[in-house]
Chains A and B, each alone.
Chain A
């Protein structure tokens, strides 16, 4: 089975901190994605990547950046965390044109 592993299940960070969320997949998938999920708003795409060192903005990229130095790893960076970035963050990966496999999620609280 494909596994997508997110480094933390729960994180608590202070306003203004730089936050790194890590995601690793083990099936050599080309595509990787970062979403956030909030009640009433559903899943919203932050950034995605189709290849190493390649990134594309999703629907809500403001306040975030990403890094993909290796095919298996896709990192989401909150440059200066704010309370409105408190959310569930979900990473996913997929082959070229297929459905996603999701990680377990990271629940981030910014205080």
Chain B
């Protein structure tokens, strides 16, 4: 069964304290791994797509990496505005199209 597990469930950081979020997956044929950011009361906002092991993507203080079994979202010198829930999802092929399977998310809180 395809499965995505994120850890930790919640993470509290001080401003400037770098850390990483983990997303481990078991899927029969990875077609892509996606990271989203979600602010309270809003829809998820796309951050990155990774397709193959060894691939890395960066955006401001965020960097996503991918191995054959997991992905990491590294946050360097975070700021309070980085506080949000970060969702990881893997793309599987289903019938004529693709379907994303989501992890439970990591709730990040950055204190000034």
Q: Which residues of A contact B (CB under 8 A)?
A: 4, 30-31, 33, 40, 42-43, 45, 48, 50-51, 56, 88, 90, 92, 94, 96-105, 107
Contacts and interface: CB of A to CB of B under 8 A. Distances in A.
Q: Which size class do B's interface residues fall under?
A: 20 to 34
Interface stretch (B12-20, B40-48, B56-64, B75-83): B40-48
Scoring A43, A56, A88 by chain B CB atoms within 10 A of each residue's CB, the highest score goes to A43
Contacts of B91: 97-99
Contacts of A104: 42-43
B60 to A, nearest CB: 18
Interface of B: 31-32, 34, 36, 41-46, 49, 87, 89, 91, 93-100, 102-105
A99 B46 contact: yes
A96 B45 contact: no
Contacts of A107: 41
Nearest to B105: A42
A42 B102 contact: yes
Contacts of B102: 42-43
B32 A99 contact: yes
A99 B100 contact: yes
A40 B104 CA distance: 7
Given A42-B103, A99-B46, A99-B100, 4 more contacts: A56-B94, A92-B43, A97-B91, A97-B97
B93 A97 contact: yes
A51 B96 contact: yes
Nearest to A97: B98
B54 to A, nearest CB: 20
